[in-house]
Amino acid sequence: MTLPDPYYDHASCYDCGLEYKSPGWIEVMIPDFVWREISPTGDEEGLLCISCISKKLIKHGFEKVPIWLCEPGPITFLPIEATRSNHALMRIWYKKSKKLEKEKQNET
Ligand SMILES: [Zn+2]
């Protein structure tokens, strides 16, 4: 049994209003340095659905941001690395995140 969470039970996407509890919500994680730039509250807080994250990434000039699919619900993505364990996939995600962060730092 999952205990009710007063924040997430009533949370929704800041931009489009999709409810966090909606079956259409796809939980993803993006690199911290990216979230700091696109956070809807400007202070690393807030909540965005995957569609609004994508729109924000485009608006902020990001490309090929590695996302970690946390709780996909009824769907799943099959990456090339699909036969690897979650732990191995997490390492790949982290490595890609760090590579992108370095590229972004070199641009500025
Ligand atoms: Zn949204």
How many whole angstroms separate alpha carbon 5 and alpha carbon 91?
A: 29
If you measure from the C-alpha of residue 57 to the centroid of ligand 1, how many angstroms do you get, rounded to a whole number?
13
Q: List the chain domain ranges.
A: 1-77, 79-108
Mean pLDDT of the chain: 82
pTM: 0.71
The string of pLDDT tens digits covering residues 56-103 is 999 999 998 988 877 656 666 655 555 667 777 778 888 888 988 998
If you measure from the C-alpha of residue 44 to the centroid of ligand 1, how many angstroms do you get, rounded to a whole number?
16
Q: By the 8 A CB rule, do 21 and 48 touch?
A: no
If you measure from the C-alpha of residue 84 to the centroid of ligand 1, how many angstroms do you get, rounded to a whole number?
31
* The pLDDT of residue 2: 47
Give φ, ψ of 74 to 5 degrees.
Answer: -80, -5
If you measure from the C-alpha of residue 5 to the centroid of ligand 1, how many angstroms do you get, rounded to a whole number?
20
Give φ, ψ of 37 to 5 degrees.
Answer: -80, -30
**Confidence category of residue 1, pLDDT binned at 50, 70, 90:** very low
